[in-house]
Structure 1
Amino acid sequence: MPTRYVGLDLAAQDRRTGLAVLREQDPASGVLVLEEARTGVDDALIAQRVRGAGKVGVDVPVGWPCRFVELLAAQATGTLAPPGSTGDEWRRGLAMRETDRAVHARTGLTPLSVSTDRIAHPALRWAGIEARLREEGIDVARDGSGRICEVYPAAALRRWGLPHRGYKGTGGRAARRGLVEALGGRFPGLDWAGHDAACVEEDDVLDAVIAALMAREVARGRAVPPPDPLRETALVEGWIWLPA
């Protein structure tokens, strides 16, 4: 039976959400066929593709910082103890997850803060999708040990030694074309099946393909798991998987 790896570049709106499906018929051959690559993806289609996947790479924060969640609960009930300072260091501790700090330490890149940035909107959408999948009995453990793993395409590209900036938006079309070629070199068994044009046209589609490739790397044991001291935290906050 073939294995399918799904990549999801989740946006708050369906029209900006990218989806990619890679089919691996025989792991020994290294051949990957890009079966689907598109935008305009609703929650029902996402759930359907997750059900048929061996592993799913999700480009969105799947959890919030524990300290931030605790602050919200205490603030809502009027039990928040006054901090020694409300300066930059205190706020950074609320804005960044442990995995965000780990990604910065390994790559120099800083993921968007799910507490303080607009990335919270797609993260809220994912929280609803996660609940739906959990109700269906799908293992959506946020540390990546189940069906889902959180990924960060720009950081993956950097770890692979590929260009990771300048490929977004209408001005990034030439850069996306170069990235499609570079990914073909990095994954020589990748058959774009005619979907390379969509990846050049829309960065959301290209990010979804990168997310699917990372899902396969995680499944193959070629990605960095949460260290033992952070495993319990990763189950709550999530963990961004990077190429090993």
Structure 2
Amino acid sequence: MENAIAPDVAPRSVLTAGVDLAAEPKKTALAIVDWSARGARLVSLAVGVDDAAIVDAAEQVDSMGIDCAFGWPDDFVAFVSGHAQSNRVDLSNDEGMAWRRRLAYRETDREVHRRMGRWPLSVATDRLGLTAMHCAALLDAIGDRIGSVDRSGAGKVAEVYPGASLRIWGLLVPKYRVDRDARERLLQGLTAEAPWLDLGPHIDELLRTDDALDALLAALTTRAHLVGQTFPVPEEHRAQAAREGWIALPSGPLSALLDGLAP
């Protein structure tokens, strides 16, 4: 595909990229937003993006957000490793659903549940495994180009969750991932709340597929993370987050994304 970043990006602007990752390139989307004194402009949007294009973008932008779990729960990894070595499962310690849920969810998933009252999909037990495997390889490839990726989001690349961002910003429209009319209502709400966001010629693509829309939302969330408008990783969970990953949840309104832009 052609270079992901448009050639007319204004100098001294800030670029954030959002990736809606899928198990295969066909449904993987990449959005790049240019942040400058003019506001924000969606300068590039593509669906059907391969890893090489994502790695190239990671090198060129200021920050990238990827919609996928960056790792697996520590307890799940230990359980599977022990099972592979034929270690017995001590049923006397089986706490039922509480035990299974501890294996299924990462600490960041529990944090999302505490803040929002909803569980994200489990990377260990839901239909995310193939995409997470893809993500693990992609993070390594990005690391080869820009240096090791900190899965806690402390570096240039962060884990994002567009659906949660929409809830926090008060913009979620049910069924937007499967219904074009819902996507249209979501975009209307987004542009009304953020009149400074220029979507350029990409509106039809945003309406056509939820992959494109989630990539845009990932790029917006990445901006929130870049300007310090996401909840920090609690100190006691930093080491765990570096292994499991940590979801960057916006801590402020959509308008906070303009923080730091020159007048």
Could you tell me the TM-score, scaled by structure 2's length?
A: 0.87
CA distance in 2, matches of 1:126, 1:236: 14
Of 140, 153, 162, 2:162 maps to 153
CA distance in 2, matches of 1:73, 1:113: 18
Of 22, 25, 28, 1:11 maps to 22
Aligned-pair distance for 1:81?
5.2
Aligned-pair distance for 1:139?
4.0
Check conservation: 1:71, 1:80, Cα contact below 8 A: no
- Which residue in the other structure is 2:233 paired with? 226
For 1:19-46, what per-residue CA distance to the aligned partner results, in whole angstroms no more than 9, with x for missing partners? 10001233xx4x1110111210111111
SS at match of 2:200: coil
Amino acid at match of 2:210: D
- Which residue in the other structure is 1:49 paired with? 57
CA distance in 2, matches of 1:96, 1:111: 9
Aligned alpha-carbon RMSD (Å): 1.4
Amino acid at match of 2:105: M
Structure 1 segments, 4+ long, off by >4 Å, are none
CA distance in 1, matches of 2:106, 2:76: 9
SS at match of 2:32: strand
For 1:136-193, what per-residue CA distance to the aligned partner results, in whole angstroms no more than 9, with x for missing partners? 2434101111011111111110000112421012xx1111111112111232211101
Amino acid at match of 2:74: C
1:119 is the counterpart of 2:128? yes
Aligned-pair distance for 1:79?
3.4
**Structure 1 80/130 Cα, relative in aligned 2: closer, same or farther at 3 Å?**
farther
Check conservation: 1:17, 1:41, Cα contact below 8 A: yes
Of 38, 42, 45, 2:46 maps to 38
Check conservation: 2:173, 2:182, Cα contact below 8 A: no
For 1:69-102, what per-residue CA distance to the aligned partner results, in whole angstroms no more than 9, with x for missing partners? 1112212222355241162111111000011111
Amino acid at match of 1:193: G
CA distance in 1, matches of 2:141, 2:156: 14
- Which residue in the other structure is 2:200 paired with? 193
- Which residue in the other structure is 1:94 paired with? 103
For 1:215-244, what per-residue CA distance to the aligned partner results, in whole angstroms no more than 9, with x for missing partners? 000001111111111111111111111110
- Which residue in the other structure is 1:23 paired with? 34
Amino acid at match of 1:69: V
Amino acid at match of 1:67: D
Aligned-pair distance for 1:132?
1.3
CA distance in 1, matches of 2:130, 2:194: 32
SS at match of 1:116: coil
Could you tell me the TM-score, scaled by structure 1's length?
A: 0.93
% identity of equivalent residues:
38
Check conservation: 2:224, 2:250, Cα contact below 8 A: yes
CA distance in 2, matches of 1:43, 1:14: 8
CA distance in 2, matches of 1:106, 1:196: 32
CA distance in 1, matches of 2:55, 2:187: 27
SS at match of 1:136: helix
CA distance in 1, matches of 2:157, 2:237: 18
Check conservation: 1:138, 1:147, Cα contact below 8 A: no
In structure 1, runs of 5+ residues without a counterpart are none
- Which residue in the other structure is 1:135 paired with? 144
Return 128-137 or 59-68, whichever deviates more. 128-137
- Which residue in the other structure is 1:2 paired with? 13
SS at match of 2:79: helix
Aligned residues: 239
Q: Any residues of structure 2 matched to 1:164-175 within 5 Å, and which?
A: 164-169=173-178, 172-175=179-182
- Which residue in the other structure is 2:77 paired with? 69
Check conservation: 1:154, 1:165, Cα contact below 8 A: no
Aligned-pair distance for 1:109?
2.3
For 1:46-77, what per-residue CA distance to the aligned partner results, in whole angstroms no more than 9, with x for missing partners? 11111111111110000100011111221222
CA distance in 1, matches of 2:25, 2:238: 32
SS at match of 1:79: coil
